[in-house]
Amino acid sequence: MARLLFQTLSLSILKNDKIWLVHPTHMLPYTSLRNTSFFNRLPAEDIWRGVTAVSNAGKKRGRGKGSGKKVAKDLNRGQTIGFGKKSCLWPGLNSPVFRGNELIHQQKTVEGTDREYGINKLRDSMGNFRLMKLNPIDRGWSGSKMPGRSIGPPDTVSEEEFTSFDTRVLENKIVFIMKGNMGRKRRYSVLSVTGNGNGLAGFATVKAPEVRTALRMSKNRAAQKLINISLCENRTIYHDFFTAFGKTKIYCFQKPDGYGLICHRAIKTICKVIGIKDLHAKIEGSTNLQHIVKAFFIGLMRQKSFQNIATETDLNIVQQQKSKIGYTEVKGIPLSKPAPFSNIQVIDYMHYTLGNKIVLKKKEVSPFYIYTKGHELKQIKNERFRNQINVRLNKLVKLYV
């Protein structure tokens, strides 16, 4: 409240001529003239109220009644349009209008139907509530909000073009800081990630007083912080990994072709920008967006190639695909042959890659109704229809054969 008062005061200082004139150094060479005052800005009713009205408290006490009551005068009485203080001839108002030698009488012209329609349309277009129309493809995570939306490739930097890059906003929020002379200063913070869909990506957080500026700046800064992330088979991560930043813990799992991205929406967006197509991720702890992004990028950068793991552990790495029934593919072989009779302890690959961590599996809570009598009766009733769908399907198939 105090802040608002201060602002209005400072404004009035700027505008009020009298106060200006106090300072002799700033004397203006002319006397300023103001053509507006509340006499010509407010309607007569409002101005009269200033004189005649009684406050609520006054009304309660019975003021504004009886003999001393001020009454508004109708100043329009006795006046005729066209005749005033200065006597003047107004053609069409208090004197006739001629076209050539002909006196013009009042008469109807041809009606234009378009006029009303045009006006209505104009009024509709000024509607009180405007919907943000957005192509479903361009939509972000939620409605027309910025997070999840694409803001195009970063701007060209000295002939370095970022074609094939795409930038996605991850976070767009208002932040305040306290300034000595301005008080709460509002700015917009934007976190965005940019990448070429082929293993090159970067992210940046930028604050700016305007949303548009913040978006542009974060996009361009992300382009300056590109990180190269090598992809396994051009579609997924090399191995499962655990990564954390602050209280955010992420478990990422390598998945087969066609699995898709089953993870937090921010991770999904980052993966799309990087070019990862199959991944499962589970977040434990805080879901702070900044932390998720940082943790995920750290995890990606800390990946090791199969060959590195093999060299580190002195063990062969093999892959068995269920779609190639029983086939064992050798992925990494230690460079040096292990010494004979060396007692190598074979560790579990997943334990190794996840750093001996496992995802917390929450106990499944069964719905409240499964121990009720009604549910039991329903199950008994449905028991006899358990194979009905298959029988009908077979019937259908047999008709075709």
Binding site for another protein (CB under 8 A): 239, 254-258, 313, 315-328, 330-331, 333-338, 344, 346-350, 352, 376, 379-380, 382-384, 389, 392-393, 395-396, 398-401
Q: Could you tell me the smallest distance in angstroms from the CB atom of residue 328 to another protein?
A: 5
* Cα 376 to chain centroid, rounded: 47
Give the sign of the dihedral formed by CA 108, CA 110, CA 113, CA 118.
negative
Angle of CA points 284, 317, 333, to nearest 5°: 135
**Do you know the residue count of the chain?**
401
**Contact call for residues 273 and 197 (beta carbons, < 8 A):** yes
Compare residues 58 and 256 and give the one whose CB is closer to another protein.
256
Compare residues 57 and 396 and give the one whose CB is closer to another protein.
396
Q: Which residues contact 288 (CB under 8 A, 6 or more apart)?
A: 246, 247, 248
* Cα 256 to chain centroid, rounded: 33
Round to whole Å and give the CA distance between 202 and 205: 11
Round to whole Å and give the CA distance between 182 and 343: 70
Q: Could you tell me the smallest distance in angstroms from the CB atom of residue 275 to another protein?
A: 19
Compare residues 150 and 305 and give the one whose CB is closer to another protein.
305
**Contact call for residues 278 and 253 (beta carbons, < 8 A):** no
Compare residues 363 and 395 and give the one whose CB is closer to another protein.
395
Q: Could you tell me the smallest distance in angstroms from the CB atom of residue 260 to another protein?
A: 13
Round to whole Å and give the CA distance between 299 and 239: 11
List, in sequence order, every residue forming a beta bridge with 177; answer none if it has no partner.
185
Compare residues 68 and 326 and give the one whose CB is closer to another protein.
326
Cα separations in angstroms, 9 against 22, 29, 219: 16, 25, 41
Compare residues 147 and 332 and give the one whose CB is closer to another protein.
332
Round to whole Å and give the CA distance between 252 and 317: 19
Q: Could you tell me the smallest distance in angstroms from the CB atom of residue 242 to another protein?
A: 16
Residue 327 C-beta-side C-alpha neighbours within 13 Å: 7
Compare residues 213 and 316 and give the one whose CB is closer to another protein.
316
| Look-up of token digits 């934007």 | 190
**Contact call for residues 167 and 153 (beta carbons, < 8 A):** yes
Q: Could you tell me the smallest distance in angstroms from the CB atom of residue 374 to another protein?
A: 13
Q: Could you tell me the smallest distance in angstroms from the CB atom of residue 349 to another protein?
A: 5
Compare residues 172 and 236 and give the one whose CB is closer to another protein.
236
Q: Could you tell me the smallest distance in angstroms from the CB atom of residue 141 to another protein?
A: 29
Q: Could you tell me the smallest distance in angstroms from the CB atom of residue 282 to another protein?
A: 16
* Cα 73 to chain centroid, rounded: 57
